[in-house]
């Protein structure tokens, strides 16, 4: 039964993707398709972290973006001292450490509190992190280096896809698959799911729910860090709160669109948000919408999907 | 019962406080007859010839030719005459709020945090450097008064801007308000100032929402006024058509129309136009850039926040190996903070500015570089400091011209009846009773990533009258 449901969700995802691709190609919005995939992959990577925390603890983590921004600051600082890749590794460690500290100081003391309390607490962590970033490095933007400089190696449907973006897309696809397998095929993954659904029963069979929680938050923070370290340098600079202000809301939307319990769904949702934003900006159909149609259309689509499938495109019904 | 009585008492007290006159705020039109609202400009007053202005108002500020680069003479002696200037503004009960025999309080707001911040440290340092310099070099010029600047961060948020402007007036006792940057915030705060009879000055931004305000004064050319300059510059570069990308905020509506009208008048093509989200997402920015590239446009006329310009459009263009001339009006996109984080992607950027680049300032105002480190605690002179220096310098001329009997009405009467103000850095500033947009020209800045800052491409370009 479960296998059937999984295959049905996969088919739904594939059908939506195919329909979207055909529609965009048929309406001369092929550039929007490529731009949507390249920018939406960043949303998807942030969304992966959001879904990971939600699957394990039922919490919308508003601090997910700032796990990434903190990593950017560390990359910025260390890049001058130890070279790019060591700085990159150091930045990931910093993000993981931030996730660990958040779990220990904020999540764990509120472990038995209502989920809404935890939600507000994570928002507090994000605001605190932004304040510290401003205090530490001023509100001004800072330049940041890319790992890969070349931008014209690959051109798809007339749009250049930079090496940095190719790296991002590859990373998010691989991680979505690996994490999907992790949660369905490994004991640790299954234990995390069990802990989120039946914490008492999980404890009774000898699994430390609190230790699992720390693991999950560190993993989510690493995903947030990875998203920031790969996606943001493409813009050449960053500032305080950039991951929250630029990526968190589209990523949340993508996660809900894809289904808050599905890791491949998070990726698909993120990409869909990117495509919708791009199409709503370029397609003549939306020209007459006053204001900024890209924001409006994203939420109209989200609403439509939730009316038809409240669990999201690939999510499971509660 | 006691608790209920207390609640009623608190409610009554709150209501009473809300109805009462706040310190520094003029009464509204709904107040009694003694309220000090700005008198509507009557045709008879508006048509007063310059000769009706008392001698004290104008002659104290010499207007010099920008071509010579001469700076107005810093008067070390106050003008002999003390008659307040005549004009359409009538003093109200709070006319002299923020002014004592020894001090003038000026409130300044700008975004130093938020979505589009200007450098906080530079702003903090630069906001009163000119006033300190003036207090030392010409202590009598403001009739024995020194200027104290209070500053609030508006966080690039119009609601916050109104809140901080109110605080500066009601808590800090500001005599007048100055908007440092940010069109939406300036518009919001200027409307608050107008409702309360408080003079409000800023560099020129939009005209929509500001043109009808009695107490608002733009010291430099507005975005819309710069439209012909932009088109002329592109034609000078041999470019015949360009894309137009303007942030989708009501404040930029007049500039959007003005640029299209200027282009049409000059036979210049705008084959692609787009109102982009004020906080455009990476996907939106990339889509707009792709459309510009596909249209084969060699130039893009731009009016967005620096964040959208640098992080969104210029970065996306670089990823597409697309390097158009980015050109536009404004102040913030021409700040060196943009080149500091945006180079090399913004190498092809050119923006008009009320002040020239730091590369030529010694020729226009030798005092700036000489005095800045001394009065800025050793901090080096920068372009934000120059913007503030220039604004305060012209403001000092206005205060001086008003005379010793300083009040809000007298100050505004001076602005609208004086023949003009020239600080040697801005193109001359001229207001009239009917026109509070005082800018007459602009400088053109060109991004130079070799030196990591904007350099002056052209100086004192007059706007067509």
Q: What token pair was written down for A6?
A: 């999984």
Return the minimum-mean-pLDDT range out of A73-87, A301-315, B96-110, B386-400: A301-315
From the list A72, A93, A75, A28, the residue with the least C-alpha distance to A241 is: A72
User: How many alpha carbons fall within 13 Å on the CB side of residue B241?
Assistant: 10
**What pLDDT is recorded for position B187?**
93
**What pLDDT is recorded for position A3?**
60
Beta carbons within 8 Å of A19's beta carbon, 6+ residues apart = none
**What pLDDT is recorded for position B79?**
44
Q: How far is A184 from chain B (nearest CA, A)?
A: 33
Q: Report yes or no: A239 at the B interface, CB cutoff 8 Å.
A: yes
Q: What token pair was written down for A296?
A: 């409006």
Residue with tokens 């500066």: B168
Determine contact, residues A45/A172, Cβ cutoff 8 Å. Answer: yes
Beta carbons within 8 Å of B451's beta carbon, 6+ residues apart = none
Q: Is B48 left (phi over 0), alpha (psi -120 to 50) or beta?
A: beta
Residue to test with chain B: of A144, A277, A285, most B Cβ within 10 A: A277
Taking CA–CA distances from B281, the nearest residue in chain A reads A246
Residue range A79-94: average pLDDT? Answer: 93
Q: How far is B91 from chain A (nearest CA, A)?
A: 41
Q: How far is A156 from chain B (nearest CA, A)?
A: 12
Q: How far is CA B58 from its chain centroid?
A: 22
Q: Which of B310, B319, B320 sits opposite A141 (nearest CB)?
A: B310
Q: How far is B392 from chain A (nearest CA, A)?
A: 24
**What pLDDT is recorded for position A23?**
82
End-to-end alpha-carbon separation of chain A, Å?
A: 15
Beta carbons within 8 Å of A37's beta carbon, 6+ residues apart = A169, A271, A274, A275
**What pLDDT is recorded for position B214?**
94
CB contact under 8 A, B281 and A138: no
Q: Which of B115, B274, B321 sits opposite A160 (nearest CB)?
A: B321
Q: Is the dihedral of CA A158, A164, A167, A171 positive or negative?
A: negative
Buried b (16+ CB within 10 A) or exposed e, B365-375: bebbeebbeeb
CB contacts, 8 Å: B276 with chain A? 281, 292
Residue range A76-84: average pLDDT? Answer: 89
Q: Which of A236, A275, A277 sits opposite B284 (nearest CB)?
A: A277
CB-neighbour burial class of residue B246 (10 A; exposed 0-12, middle 13-18, buried 19+)? buried
Q: Which of B117, B275, B315 sits opposite A139 (nearest CB)?
A: B117
Point out which residues pair with A21 in neighbouring strands: none
Does 3.40.50.2300 match the CATH number of domain B56-221+362-434? yes
CB contact under 8 A, B286 and A160: no
Q: What token pair was written down for B294?
A: 């596909």
From the list B70, B69, B124, B56, the residue with the least C-alpha distance to B399 is: B56
Q: Which band of pLDDT confidence, cut at 50, 70 and 90, is reported for residue A126?
A: very high
| Coil vs helix vs strand at B282 | helix
Q: Report yes or no: A284 at the B interface, CB cutoff 8 Å.
A: no
CB contact under 8 A, A234 and B310: no
Distances (CA, A) of B407 to A33, B32, B169, B386, B425: 61, 21, 15, 28, 27
pTM: 0.80
Q: What token pair was written down for B352?
A: 């008009």
∠ at Cα A176 (A201, A224), nearest 5°? 85
Determine contact, residues B133/B146, Cβ cutoff 8 Å. Answer: no
**What pLDDT is recorded for position A291?**
67
Residue B465: other Cβ atoms inside 10 A:
4
Beta carbons within 8 Å of B285's beta carbon, 6+ residues apart = B276, B308, B311, B312, B313, B315, B316
Winning range, highest mean pLDDT, from A125-139, A182-196, B204-218 = B204-218
CB contact under 8 A, A141 and B337: yes
**What pLDDT is recorded for position A298?**
83
State the Cα–Cα distance between residues B107 and A4, nearest whole angstrom.
68
State the Cα–Cα distance between residues B416 and B410, nearest whole angstrom.
10
∠ at Cα B161 (B156, B165), nearest 5°? 150
Buried b (16+ CB within 10 A) or exposed e, A93-126: ebbbbbbeebbeebbeebeeeeeeebeebbeebb
Q: What token pair was written down for B78?
A: 């106050």
Residue B296: other Cβ atoms inside 10 A:
10
Ranges under pLDDT 70 in chain B: 1-85, 114-119
Taking CA–CA distances from B282, the nearest residue in chain A reads A39
Q: Which of B113, B312, B341 sits opposite A143 (nearest CB)?
A: B341
Interface residue ranges in chain B relative to chain A, Cβ cutoff 8 Å: 112-115, 117, 119-121, 248, 274-279, 281-284, 286-288, 290-291, 294, 307, 310-312, 314-315, 318-321, 337, 340-343, 345
| Coil vs helix vs strand at B34 | coil
Beta carbons within 8 Å of A249's beta carbon, 6+ residues apart = none
Q: What token pair was written down for A162?
A: 């930079």
Cis peptide before A178 (omega within 30 of 0): no
> Which ranges in B196-276 belong to alpha helices (H)?
223-236, 253-266
Does 2.40.50.140 match the CATH number of domain B224-353+445-462? no
State the Cα–Cα distance between residues B209 and A220, nearest whole angstrom.
46
Range(s) of chain B covered by CATH 3.40.50.2300? 56-221+362-434, 224-353+445-462
> Which ranges in B111-202 belong to alpha helices (H)?
120-126, 129-137, 158-170, 183-195
Residue to test with chain B: of A76, A136, A237, A286, most B Cβ within 10 A: A237
Buried b (16+ CB within 10 A) or exposed e, B104-140: bbbbbbbbbbbbbbbbbebbebbbbbbbbbbbeebee
Would you give the DSSP letter of residue B99?
B
Taking CA–CA distances from A141, the nearest residue in chain B reads B341
Q: Report yes or no: A282 at the B interface, CB cutoff 8 Å.
A: yes
From the list B194, B266, B193, B190, the residue with the least C-alpha distance to B222 is: B190
Q: Which band of pLDDT confidence, cut at 50, 70 and 90, is reported for residue A159?
A: very high
Q: What token pair was written down for A305?
A: 């999907």
Return the minimum-mean-pLDDT range out of A14-28, A114-128, A221-235, B48-62: B48-62
**What pLDDT is recorded for position B47?**
28
Q: What is the CATH number of domain A2-308?
A: 1.10.3470
Would you list the DSSP string of A194-227? HHHH-HHHHHHTT--HHHHHHHHHHHHHHHHHHH
CB contact under 8 A, B283 and A141: no
**What pLDDT is recorded for position A5?**
65
State the Cα–Cα distance between residues B334 and B324, nearest whole angstrom.
16
Q: Report yes or no: A237 at the B interface, CB cutoff 8 Å.
A: yes
Would you give the DSSP letter of residue B63?
-
| Coil vs helix vs strand at B135 | helix
**What pLDDT is recorded for position B16?**
39
Beta carbons within 8 Å of B66's beta carbon, 6+ residues apart = B422, B424, B427, B428, B441, B459, B460
CB-neighbour burial class of residue A189 (10 A; exposed 0-12, middle 13-18, buried 19+)? middle
CB contact under 8 A, A292 and B276: yes
Residue range A87-106: average pLDDT? Answer: 96
**What pLDDT is recorded for position B29?**
34
Element (H, E) at A2: helix A2-26
Q: What token pair was written down for B264?
A: 């049409």
**What pLDDT is recorded for position B353?**
94
State the Cα–Cα distance between residues B319 and B313, nearest whole angstrom.
10
Point out which residues pair with B244 in neighbouring strands: B273, B301
Determine contact, residues A294/A239, Cβ cutoff 8 Å. Answer: no
Q: Is B401 left (phi over 0), alpha (psi -120 to 50) or beta?
A: alpha
State the Cα–Cα distance between residues B442 and B389, nearest whole angstrom.
16
**What pLDDT is recorded for position B401?**
94
């Amino acid at each position: 039964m479960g296998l059937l449901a999984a295959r049905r969700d996969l088919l739904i995802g594939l059908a939506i993707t195919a329909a979207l691709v055909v529609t965009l190609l048929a309406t001369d919005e092929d550039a929007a398709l490529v731009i949507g995939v390249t920018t939406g992959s960043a949303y998807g990577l942030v969304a992966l972290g959001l879904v990971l925390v939600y699957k394990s603890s039922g919490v919308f983590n508003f601090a997910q973006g700032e796990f990434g921004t903190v990593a950017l600051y560390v990359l910025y600082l260390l890049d001058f001292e130890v070279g790019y890749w060591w700085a990159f590794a150091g930045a990931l460690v910093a993000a993981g450490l931030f996730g660990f500290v958040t779990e220990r100081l904020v999540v764990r003391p509120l472990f038995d509190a209502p989920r809404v309390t935890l939600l507000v607490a994570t928002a507090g962590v994000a605001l605190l992190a932004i304040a510290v970033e401003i205090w530490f490095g001023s509100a001004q933007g800072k330049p940041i280096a890319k790992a890969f400089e070349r931008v014209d190696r690959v051109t798809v449907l007339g749009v250049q896809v930079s090496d940095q973006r190719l790296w991002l897309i590859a990373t998010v696809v691989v991680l979505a698959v690996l994490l999907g397998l992790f949660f369905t095929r490994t004991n640790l993954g299954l234990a995390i799911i069990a802990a989120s659904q039946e914490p008492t029963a999980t404890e009774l069979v000898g699994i430390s729910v609190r230790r699992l929680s720390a693991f999950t938050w560190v993993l989510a923070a690493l995903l947030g860090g990875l998203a920031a370290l790969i996606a943001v340098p493409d813009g050449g600079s960053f500032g305080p709160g950039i991951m929250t202000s630029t990526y968190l809301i589209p990523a949340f939307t993508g996660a809900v669109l894809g289904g808050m319990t599905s890791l491949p769904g998070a990726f698909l949702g993120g990409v869909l948000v990117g495509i919708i934003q791009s199409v709503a900006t370029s397609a003549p159909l939306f020209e007459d919408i006053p204001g900024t149609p890209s924001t409006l259309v994203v939420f109209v689509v989200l609403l439509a999907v939730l009316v038809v499938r409240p669990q999201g495109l690939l999510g499971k019904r509660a | 019962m006691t608790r209920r009585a207390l609640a009623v008492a608190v409610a009554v007290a709150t209501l009473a406080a809300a109805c009462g006159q706040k310190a520094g705020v003029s009464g509204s039109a709904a107040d009694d007859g003694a309220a000090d609202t700005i008198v509507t400009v009557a045709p008879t007053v508006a048509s007063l010839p310059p000769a009706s202005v008392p001698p004290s108002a104008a002659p104290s500020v010499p207007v010099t030719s920008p071509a010579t680069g001469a700076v107005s003479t810093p008067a070390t002696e106050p003008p002999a005459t003390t008659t307040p200037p005549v004009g359409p503004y009538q003093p109200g009960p709070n006319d002299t709020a923020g002014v004592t025999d020894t001090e003038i309080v000026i409130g300044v707001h700008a975004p130093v945090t938020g979505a589009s911040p200007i450098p906080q440290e530079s702003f903090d340092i630069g906001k009163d450097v000119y006033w300190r310099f003036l207090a030392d070099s010409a202590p009598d010029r403001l009739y024995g008064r020194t200027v104290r600047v209070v500053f609030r961060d508006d966080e690039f948020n119009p609601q916050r801007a109104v809140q901080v402007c109110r605080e500066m007036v009601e808590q800090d006792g500001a005599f007048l308000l100055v908007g440092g940057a940010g069109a939406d915030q300036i518009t919001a705060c200027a409307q608050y100032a107008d409702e309360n009879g408080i003079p409000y000055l800023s560099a020129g931004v939009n005209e929509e929402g500001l043109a009808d305000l009695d107490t608002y004064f733009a010291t430099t050319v507005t975005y819309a006024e710069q439209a012909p300059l932009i088109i002329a510059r592109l034609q000078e570069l041999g470019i015949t058509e360009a894309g137009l990308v303007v942030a989708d905020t009501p404040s930029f509506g007049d500039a959007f129309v003005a640029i299209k009208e200027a282009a049409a008048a000059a036979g210049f093509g705008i084959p692609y136009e787009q109102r982009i989200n004020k906080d455009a997402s990476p996907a939106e920015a990339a889509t707009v850039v792709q459309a510009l590239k596909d249209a084969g446009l060699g130039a893009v006329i731009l009016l967005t926040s620096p964040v959208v310009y640098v992080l969104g459009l210029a970065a996306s263009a670089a990823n597409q190996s697309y390097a158009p001339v980015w050109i536009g009006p404004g102040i913030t996109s021409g700040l060196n903070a943009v080149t500091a984080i945006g180079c090399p992607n913004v190498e092809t950027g050119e923006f008009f500015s009320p002040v020239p680049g730091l590369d030529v300032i010694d020729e226009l105002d030798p005092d700036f570089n000489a005095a800045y480190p001394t009065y800025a605690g050793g901090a080096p002179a920068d372009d934000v400091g120059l913007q503030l220096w220039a604004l305060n310098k012209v403001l000092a001329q206005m205060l001086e011209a008003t005379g010793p009997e300083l009040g809000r009405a007298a100050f505004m009467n001076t602005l609208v009846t004086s023949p003009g103000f020239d600080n040697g850095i801005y193109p001359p500033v001229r207001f009239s009773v009917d026109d509070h947009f005082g800018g007459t020209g602009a400088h053109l800045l060109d991004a130079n990533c070799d030196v990591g800052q904007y350099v002056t491409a052209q100086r004192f370009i007059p706007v067509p009258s």
